[in-house]
Structure 1
Amino acid sequence: MSLEQATKADQPATDDDAMLVRVQREDFSIDEELKRVRRRSKRIGGIAMFLGTARDRSKGKDVDGITFEHYEGMAQKKLREIRERAIREFGVIEVLVLHRYGEIAIGDNIVLIIAAAEHRAEAFRACQWAIDELKQITPIWKLEHTPEGEVWVEEHP
């Protein structure tokens, strides 16, 4: 554990700490979330982000909208685990993991991962791992609304 991480562990949790991992209904501001991460350390030299948005096509078919459902409490727990593992295993300074639930319009934001490190390589690796892991282990389910009806998406590409 670095000196900075040890110092953070000794400090009481702040509002920003709680805001670094969220499942929420409302949209988010990429700028505000980026500011939240950047406030965490002056050592940050590289930031990688993944933004997932709702698209209007899936498997060659039109999609009118998406609904996300989640297992309350367990989804947040899994996202916290992803954040903690990314920091520990990739040597990054900070990771933000945010996923929306409820009805999402085409073009709207769904998920945001921000990984901040001293250097870009660690940030890129942590960011890619975090979104891949989120799709594999987090109990969040996607229901696509199509002209032909609703379809639950089971695979996690």
Structure 2
Amino acid sequence: MTDSTHRAPRVSVQTEDFDLSAEVATLRAGDARVGAVCTFVGTVRDRNEGDPVASMELEHYPGMTEKSIETIIDQAVERFGLHGVRVIHRVGLLAPMDQIVLVAVTSAHRGMSFQGCEYIMDYLKSLAPFWKKEQTLQGARWVDARVSDEQALARWSHPPAAA
């Protein structure tokens, strides 16, 4: 087992791209308790609401955003018994196919790892203070929250299923 004080930070909000393999290797380094690793990488789509997307600009509230994500992670660790969590969310100007977000979690077993990853991503999509603006042929537009994101978040309002 490793001392968590020597691990990478759990949350990064950054303009730079990330290396999925390197992040997973760092997350699981030296932790023999890990039996499952689950990752999610979100990317910029080239179309939204039927329109071609040329770029997406992401903004956040520095300090508040990181604190919000740390709270989400704390809840996921408690709820699903996660051993490690890494969340990277990019900000700034991104092009189609660019990576936007990484959620990586480790746990003893796959079920809790899958659920923990989904839980964190559902909360990020609905509650973390990020704002997205797409550039289309018709001009720039802010991206509104989707009903499907709110529905995904609502499923976590009940206690988790037994492992």
**TM over 0.5: same fold?**
yes
TM-score by length of 2: 0.85
Give the deviation of 1:40 after TM superposition.
5.5
**Partner Cα separation in structure 2 for residue 104 and residue 40 of structure 1:** 34
**For 1:141, which of 131, 152, 159 is the aligned residue?**
131
Report deviation, 1:84: 1.3
1:2-151 to structure 2, matched below 5 A, reads: 8=3, 13-14=5-6, 16-18=7-9, 20-39=10-29, 41-151=31-141
The one-letter code matched in structure 1 to 2:72 is: I
After TM superposition, give the deviation of residue 28 of structure 1 in Å.
0.4
Letter aligned with residue 24 of structure 1: Q
Structure 1 gaps of 5+ residues are: none
Q: Quick one: distance in 1 between partners of 2:30 and 2:107? A: 11
Secondary structure of the residue aligned to 1:22 is strand
Decide whether the 8 Å contact of 2:8 with 2:27 is kept in 1.
Answer: no
In structure 1, what residue type is equivalent to 2:44?
A: A
Normalization by structure 1: what TM-score? Answer: 0.88
Partner SS for 1:121: helix
Q: Provide the identity percentage.
A: 37
2:139 and 2:21 map into 1 onto residues whose CA distance is: 36
What SS is found at the alignment partner of 2:101? strand
SS state at 1:131 partner: helix
Report runs of 4+ in structure 1 exceeding 2 Å deviation.
Answer: none
Aligned length in residues: 147
Alpha carbons 2:126, 2:145 under 8 Å: kept = no
SS at match of 2:141: strand
Distance 1:68 1:42 in 2: 37
Q: Deviations over 1:113-134 (max 9, x none)?
A: 0111111000000000100001
Partners of 2:31 and 2:78 in 1: how far apart?
16
- Matched-pair contact (CA < 8 Å) for 1:40–1:94: no
2-structure distance, mates of 1:112, 1:121: 19
